[in-house]
Amino acid sequence: MSVSSATASADTAPAIVTPTRRARSGAVVVGAGPLSFADVVAVARHDARIELDPTALKGVAATRGIIEGLAGDADPHYGISTGFGALATTFITADRRAQLQASLVRSHAAGSGPEVEREVVRALMLLRLSTLMTGRTGVRPVTAETYAAVLNAGITPVVREYGSLGCSGDLAPLAHCALAVMGEGEVRDADGTLMGGGEALAAAGIGPVVLAEKEGLALINGTDGMLGMLILALDDLARLLTTADIAAAMSVEALLGTDAVFAADLQALRPQIGQAASAANLRALLAGSPVVASHAGPEDTTVQDAYSLRCSPQVHGAARDTATHAAAIAGRELDSAVDNPVVTLDGRVESNGNFHGAPVAYVLDFLAIAAADVASMSERRTDRHLDVARNKGLPPFLAHEVGVDSGLMIAQYTAAGIVSELKRLAVPASVDSIPSSAMQEDHVSMGWAAARKLRRSLDGLGRVLAIEIMTAARSLDLRAPLQPGPATGVVRDLVRTVADGPGHDRFLSPEIESVVQLVATGAVTEACASVCRGLI
């Protein structure tokens, strides 16, 4: 596979989830072209099998011939016959080069902290394999084949939370994966059992790789960890931003708000793409609502709703546009061959700086800002449900027996606490840099850190939205005999399968967690889609 010389413009940015290219077997084909977002999600989250494109493997072998030719050259070549980083000027004789590559991986597998999630490690390994299959890294075909075999066997190297500065690649995380392919280090097998890398490979019938010139460097020099987490985050956001529109619609309805402000002609006066999509969702979600119809017309004395209701499309839409921008960056990164040095299309071996994670780090930070703001608006809507001065006739805190019961008072506290943390997580990681490698690597991206905090941000966003949905569902119940519209009503009914309606106080945490799962699994969006066609 050759890397294209052109990149997509913002106007031709890929969708948040793109179609998956599959072989007849249902496997994801690596090497036939850039992976799609859906390819990455399928392998990382759903254990899709991998097949290597035979033509691309021939290209890998051809490029390897260039590396082997340079290995016999008396002149030093970085990564082939020299040391690394600050030791790039140190010549390594032929009889020590296998040790050089193995030592590189062993020394760089220096992560610390809790284990990184299985899906992240699988995404990271798939993306490194994709770069190996471009034929621009100089590895042998057997090395790429072993990576595919490890993924297909469900073997997951143990990668630790800390160890990447997001420059020169996600070094420690990638090194832990390379160590496992060498038959060393720690892994978890397909059942999740912790064992040695050699033991796991033997059980799966996979021979360990003995690294040759350039290979250790090629296995650890990429933005694969942060890119994998970005793609998984975009997959989550595709669900969460639609869920945010659903939650907002339920709140507008239950708080006797108006849907008139979401009219298409009003939204078109500010032609932001995401805003239009979010407003279209709100119109569809509130269509046919008896609650909305009950106070529509001149008898409604409300001049205009609060910002957290009225401006939902503007905030949710801005988050959508941010995700679209991030998807464009991720799409270009998927069409990249990130390594140093790299074998060019005309056969030169050249040093470069493409491993710097700035492009990915920036959008990871940008998405954390968007997630914090969407959650902040959601929490403000939740609070309106509970305040008797603003909820238009509902009991204080939606309590069953005011004074005896606290209702959902503390559920709002939980949402507020999460939002406060999301605001802290919105502080960019990519503005920081700590020099390393004896000042050779004197500016780094911190993209891995940006990705790690974004994962926590999106978990928090889902929880805040779940609390709003649970709260709005109780408010809608309390509006009886008025009934919600078809779309919001189906979500209220779904919530009732895991959380009881209004009544005396009870143990609330299990109900919150159950609604969180409805959001996380996509059950909320699927329920809405079953009665509301064209939801974006």
Active-site residues, by number, are 78
**Residue 497 DSSP symbol:** T
Cα 418 → chain centroid: 19
**Kind and range of the H or E element at 51?**
strand 50-52
**Parallel, antiparallel, or unpaired: how do β-strands 28-30 and 50-52 relate?**
parallel
Tokens 């072989």 locate to: 23
Residues 6+ apart with CB under 8 A from 483: 290, 291, 489
Residue type, 287: A
Contact 212, 140 (CB under 8 A): yes
Backbone angles phi, psi at 126, to 5 degrees: -60, -45
**Kind and range of the H or E element at 351?**
none
Measured distance CA(56)–CA(2) in Å, rounded: 9
Give strand ranges (E) for 97-162. Answer: 112-115, 156-157, 160-162
Contact 458, 422 (CB under 8 A): no
**Cα end-to-end span (Å), the chain:** 34
Residues 6+ apart with CB under 8 A from 302: 256, 257, 258, 295
Q: 143 to each of 136, 182, 216, 218, how far by Cα in Å?
A: 14, 10, 10, 10
**Kind and range of the H or E element at 340?**
none
* Structure tokens belonging to residue 274: 């995401």
Contact 484, 258 (CB under 8 A): no
Q: 533 to each of 267, 477, 486, 529, how far by Cα in Å?
A: 20, 24, 11, 6
DSSP 440-479: TB-----HHHHHHHHHHHHHHHHHHHHHHHHHHHHHHHHT
Measured distance CA(180)–CA(187) in Å, rounded: 7
What is the 3-class SS of 69-99, one letter each residue? HHHCCCCCCCCCCECCHHHCCCECCHHHHHH
